[in-house]
Amino acid sequence: MGGAGGERISRLKGRVEIIRSDYGGEQTLAGKSPFVVVANRLPVDEVTDDTPAARMSGGRRWRPSPGGLVTALHPVLVEHKGTWIGWSGTAGDAPEPFEMDGITLVPMALSDDEVERYYEGQSNATIWPLYHDAVEPPVFRRRWRDAYREVNRRYAEAAAEVAAYRATVWVQDYQLQLVPAMLRELRPDLRIGFFLHIPFPPIELFMQLPQRTEVLRGLLGADLVGFQQRLAAQNFLRLARHLLGTPYSGSTLEYEGRKVKAEAFPISIDVAEMQRLADNPLVRERAAQIRAELGDPKTVILGVDRLDYTKGIEHRLKAFRELLGEGRLSVPEAVMVQVATPSRERVEHYQALRVKVEREVGRINGDFGRVGVPAVHYLHQSYSRSELAALYCAADVMMVTPLRDGMNLVAKEYVAARAEHGGALVLSEFAGAAGELRQAFLCNPHDLDGVKDALIRAVNVDPAEARRRMGIMQRHLRRHDVAAWASDFLRSLGDLDDH
Ligand code: ADQ
């Protein structure tokens, strides 16, 4: 790591320049960013533009990829001349930093090899399964770990370079757990926050990680470590005591003479945006059209997930199949629509999952479908926000049955889209969202009979009762939207008294 005192060579953005590591206070860092977000991905997608004009200019074009995080942080980023550091999504050289909608975006380069080892390997085949209760066995590889460390170091150096004196830097998620400590070593003046979007496992599981002490120390580089749920924050505090003997009281621990806070900040969605979409007459029309195309069934049951083994898609399909087999549901009165967004398609577990899900869909349709009337409509595609909103509006019952999920935004989006129209949410107890959406039909996805019963109760719920439940959950979401989430986190980070 760049040494204290003296000079450090930074090869950021393909340039080589010398910066003084005794950052020298406000003057030397004038013009830099007082608020920096560091995330694996930038909040934009590259648009393939093969027109002669685009080729001539050598320019790359970008379009915002709308997500809850950027929606929530956009006002803060604009107000504070913020910078977002992240990967563009394409392997190879990184484009130069550029401005979009009032935010400076600093693209990071990842080579093909790094995409395979840091992103698909260590992030998505080691840490992702381990942190999700090891529902698939995590794979441990030394070369993945080395790439993870190297990429984390580059992100930390990029943040150190763009951050103003005493800036606030907010690091996001499991791909970048080493960044807080690396950044603190480079820039002890910064206020550093970290938020983990996925669960944080209990000690027994975390201890499997060969890199466990390094990851823990990496996170402890932050002033505030945020989690989706209180249980995750407690797992973290207990782990620090277990592994490093770090004492804690309440949510604050003492580490290397500093205070580190670990707290829960359940993430949310842009509730107003989803409600606006759901109220849009074009979206309503599209919802009616979807129902008509499905053959105007009495009950439309919907699932919307990334095609991921944590989401419990197979369990949900199996419950539906058994209910059809037992005659407790029947086609065409009830049909299921399962949207499974393509995801991490080069990772082995994901390829295997796709085969299993598609086989199960084929089996259900073979057994219970008729010509022109499938029992399950399976869509392995990405959709626009308005098409998703139309699907939510069209669905009588939404099934969200993950085996483990940090939060699950789909559950919140469905509730926000239902306005005064009722509808029922079947929700796994193992989704973070279950901590807030208590009026859902909660179930344990491992208990197939329990899932079946919850689905039947949701299908048969009295409409007035459905509206009552939906109303309570909506009121909760209106008070706890993603903007409230971001400001709660940043307020808590700003309240820390050690600066
Ligand atoms: P994810 O695991 O990706 O997020 P989730 O919270 O459900 O899961 O968010 C998925 C998002 O993608 C939703 O906003 C949804 O609308 C969108 N989406 C899903 N299918 C789509 C499709 N076919 N087309 C277009 N959009 C689609 C991780 C954690 C979660 C945590 C979030 C945020 O795993 O637990 O809730 O981060 O912190």
pLDDT of residue 75: 83
Share of the chain above pLDDT 90, in %: 80
Q: What is the pLDDT of residues 417-448, one digit of tens each?
A: 997 789 999 999 999 999 999 999 999 999 99
Residue 344 near residue 338 (C-beta atoms within 8 A): no
- pLDDT score of 70: 84
Mean pLDDT value of segment 216-236: 98
Q: How far is the CA of 306 from the centre of ligand 1 (A)?
A: 7
Would you state the structure tokens that stand for residue 102, as one six-digit string?
């009032």
Residues catalogued as catalytic: 197, 405
In tens, the pLDDT along 27-61 reads 445 569 999 999 999 998 888 766 666 665 556 78
CA of 343, closest atom in ligand 1: 3
**For residue 278, is pLDDT > 90?**
yes
269 C-alpha to center of ligand 1: Å? 10
pLDDT for 7 beyond 50: no
CA-nearest residue for atom 22, ligand 1, is 382
The class level of CATH for 3-268+484-495 reads: alpha beta
pLDDT band at 80 (very low <50, low <70, confident <90, very high): confident
pLDDT of residue 63: 84
Residues whose beta carbon lies within 6 Å of some atom of ligand 1: 197-198, 267, 304, 306, 339, 341, 381-383, 388, 405-410, 413
Q: Where are the chain's structural domains?
A: 3-268+484-495, 271-479
Question: For the residues 115-131, what does the mean pLDDT come to?
Answer: 97
Please give the average per-residue pLDDT across 248-269, as a whole number: 97
How far, in Å, from the CA of 341 to the mean position of ligand 1?
A: 9
Choosing from 65, 194, 306 the residue with most ligand 1 atoms within 8 A of its CB, the one to mutate for a pocket test is 306
Distance 441 CA to ligand 1 centre (A): 20
pLDDT of 225 > 80? The answer is yes
Fold of 271-479: Rossmann fold (3.40.50)
Site to probe by mutation for ligand 1, drawn from 410, 415, 485 as the one with most ligand atoms within 8 Å of Cβ, is: 410
pLDDT given at position 36:
97
Which band of pLDDT confidence, cut at 50, 70 and 90, is reported for residue 71?
confident
Residue with the nearest Cα to atom 8 of ligand 1? Answer: 408
pLDDT > 90? residue 495? no
